[in-house]
Structure 1
Amino acid sequence: MSAPERIPPRSVTTAELLAKGELKVRGRIREASNAVLYCSVSYEGRDAFCVYKPVAGERPLWDFPDGNLARREVAAFEVSEVTGWGLVPPTVLRDGPYGEGMCQLWIEAAPDAELLALVDGEEPAEGWKAIGFAEVGEGRTALLVHADDARLRKLAVLDAVINNADRKGGHLLPGGEGRLYGIDHGVTFNAENKLRTLLWGWAGESLTGEALSVLAALRDALAPSAPLATRLAELVTAAELDATRARVEAMLASRKHPEPSGEWPAIPWPPV
């Protein structure tokens, strides 16, 4: 008599783990302006660490709807996934110990990665892009630069699409295997131009061929009734979705990285 066929256990996806797993709060990240909780999450034998940002812990902002930042974090992930660049850690909207909130996979940053620097002189060295001058104390200034890194350049494109109003240095997480992630996307998708970022090094330069292909795919994905557009309509306003489409069209028309508008501070404060 032959032995019964063994069915291998089903593999739990990261999305399932984050959306359905049991959340246990392990601590709070106190540097954040809103409530950010460090948690463990477990589901059907798979475990991980994650960040949980409850809507109840969001600080009201004058230029964004109340109780909506968590949904914008999820929207940024959805757009990132369509690009194929995987620049935002897996992120879901779910109920948790303190109500509805954003749950995002925890990323351990590589400690030796150098993406930003303050240097003497007026021009960046080879392999670096200038951001601007910063005061460093005692009346001295130094040139703030970021790495001329293809991963950062992709993130600059994503930030322009989602209209990120707060791309600080601390929101850049170099992960393992050469990966780079951007986090903290609560203040995105505004209908008004609010792009504030440290990644201005390519401003006015031609977009790469890869970026143009990604933007063309995004244009199709944002068409009414397309899956991405349907999902975003659940997360941001109709006006904000239309503005996202317009930003993609503008970049495809210009074929260049956006430049600061002059109508809004170009660099977030504090920058790191």
Structure 2
Amino acid sequence: MTTATLTPLLEIAGLRASYGEAEVLRGIDLRVDAGEIVALLGRNGAGRSTLAKAVMGLVARHGSVRLDGVETSQWRTCDLARHGIAYVAETRDLFPTLTVRQNLLLGLRAGRRFAHVCEPLLASLPLLARRLDVRAGVLSGGEQQMLAMARAMAGEPVLLILDEPTEGLAPAVVAQIADWLDVLAKQGIGVLLIEQKLSIALRLAQRVYLMGRGEIAFAGTPAGLAEHHETLRHWLEWSNEGSTFAL
């Protein structure tokens, strides 16, 4: 008797990407399953943000990118979004002169209602819910990050790609974002989390990928990564005595 293998939600194989003649990604293999948080770790410049952009068709790319078994490497960014991939860039890309409500409305799928989609999202983000009529440009950094994530989720995606969502934020806000990501995963959303705060990434993630110089240096579980001391030191400058790496 054979056991059926579930199709990964996102499956990347042999992915290469470049800026002009400068190759940044050198054959990346990676997968994210439904309801799974996968952490993508590495130093700045390792190629993590380029990987997110390559999945979204925002840079020149070669290789295979499959969403729920369907090849998407030739799709436009708008087609990827329409079929369920949401991407929150490190820059957040909000419309600063529009209110929180207006930014969320822009994330809705055609024909969907604010009350049906956004109000349930805001129930998990009470800080944001109280700021609906405030312009996005005057929100705090934490509120802006929550808005960027909520706008992405307003499109009802199956996969959420987050690039450095906790950078520069207060610990209390980081904890709220981490809790929300955990809730999303329990609802069946796949999450690819590009993160510098290893304690957050490794607490949330079921699996991790460590990138270095445009390649995958490690793929496995958080516990498995913790055992690869030399890999951590080489690619993350990790120290036993430091507080950056914690399970």
- Please confirm whether the aligned pair reaches a TM-score higher than 0.5, indicating the same fold: no
Query: Quick check: which one's helix share is greater?
Result: 2
Between Structure 1 and Structure 2, whose CA radius of gyration is higher? Answer: 1
| TM-score, structure 2 as length reference | 0.32
Greater RCO, CA 8 A, separation 6+: 2
